Amino acid sequence: MTTTEAATDAQPNTSTENNCTNDIPHNGGNDNRDNQSQPTTSNSADANPNVKKIYAVSVRWEREQERLRQELDAATDPVTNKRPCLTFTIEDFHKYFCCCARRVGSFFFLLERKDGSPIIAAGPCWPFCTLVTVPLILVLSTLVMVFIVFNKNSGMPWWFALIYCPILAFVLIALFCVSCRDPGLMERVADEETAEQGWFWNEQVGSYRPAGAMYCREGKALIMDFDHVCPWTGTAIGRNNMLQFRLFVFSVNVLCYLSVGLVIWFVFFVNFINK
């Protein structure tokens, strides 16, 4: 353990929803942790493949979800057994647009394996990615293709479409691989033997964590090699999608500069060459 990590882990932290971790180093004795933050299972999916993995998510979020379920149960009509359709919270938005997904913190598992590990997962900022990023790329690129690339009067050679369209397709594929991929969610680990391997107890998620894992405030989960949350891609950036994120940033910049260059060339061609 480095001097910086030891100082960070030793300092008390009253906040439970920060982007940094709130850790307690294990000393082999009683650490007086709250029983509510103690995980009850650990690596159960490894012992039984039919049991879904339990991820290290915010214990505060788990308590809030339990409170919401209790409130819905209390508001259920005892005669018709119907629950109210709206709670007038952000949960209504997630409920109706991600109705078929399993919620893990602020992540939504749209498609998962039998053990609960996600194949396709939407991040905490998926509405921004869906309603802003994707339309912005598609609309602007479509305008460039219609009025410049595929326009016979623009003076653009036909073979240029074989360059522009694959770049656009690559940008969209890279965006999908970033936004719909597990960024590196960690399972909840309660085995105290991991403390002997240099792991630290994290109160925010009620789990031990390795040195490279950090708590994501927006995602409400522990992520391996967590870097940041990108609203443009709609998810957190960690170990599992860092490469795809860099490819997306590079390709979208190429597409952007290429589109701007085409517009400038088209304006120059129309105003000067044709005249």
pLDDT digits (tens, 9 = 90+) for 241-274: 999 999 999 999 999 999 999 999 888 876 666 5
Where does the pLDDT of residue 226 fall: very low under 50, low under 70, confident under 90, or very high at 90 and above? very high
Question: Can you give the pLDDT at residue 9?
Answer: 42
Q: How confident is the model at residue 64 (pLDDT cuts 50, 70, 90)?
A: confident
Mean pLDDT over each residue of the chain, to the nearest integer: 78
Mean pLDDT of 9-22: 44
Q: Is the pLDDT of residue 219 over 50?
A: yes
H-helix or E-strand containing 219?
Answer: none
CA distance 233 to 123: 8
**pLDDT at 144 (0 to 100):** 93
Phi-psi region of 43 (alpha: psi -120 to 50; beta: other; left: phi over 0): left
How many domains is the chain built from? 1
Q: What is the pTM of this model?
A: 0.74
10 Å CB burial of residue 273 (0-12, 13-18, 19+) is exposed
Residue 77 clears pLDDT 90, i.e. is over it: no
In this prediction, residue 197 carries a pLDDT of 83
Digit-coded pLDDT (tens) for 200-215: 898 889 899 998 899 9
Taking only the tens place, the pLDDT of each residue in 186-199 is 999 988 888 778 88
Distance of alpha carbon 216 from alpha carbon 122, whole angstroms = 15
pLDDT digits (tens, 9 = 90+) for 112-156: 898 889 999 999 999 899 999 999 999 999 999 999 889 887 778
pLDDT at 33 over 50: no
Percent pLDDT > 90 in the chain is 41
Question: What does the alpha-carbon distance between residue 109 and residue 90 come to, in Å, rounded to a whole number?
Answer: 18
Can you give the pLDDT at residue 82?
61
> How much is the pLDDT for 47?
52
Q: Which of 42-51, 130-139, 165-174 has the weakest average pLDDT?
A: 42-51
The whole domain housing 49 covers 3-273
Secondary element (H or E) of residue 228: strand 228-230
Question: Which phi and psi (to 5°) does residue 263 adopt?
Answer: -65, -45
What's the pLDDT band for 84 if we cut at 50, 70, 90? low
pLDDT for 229: 95
DSSP state of 39: -
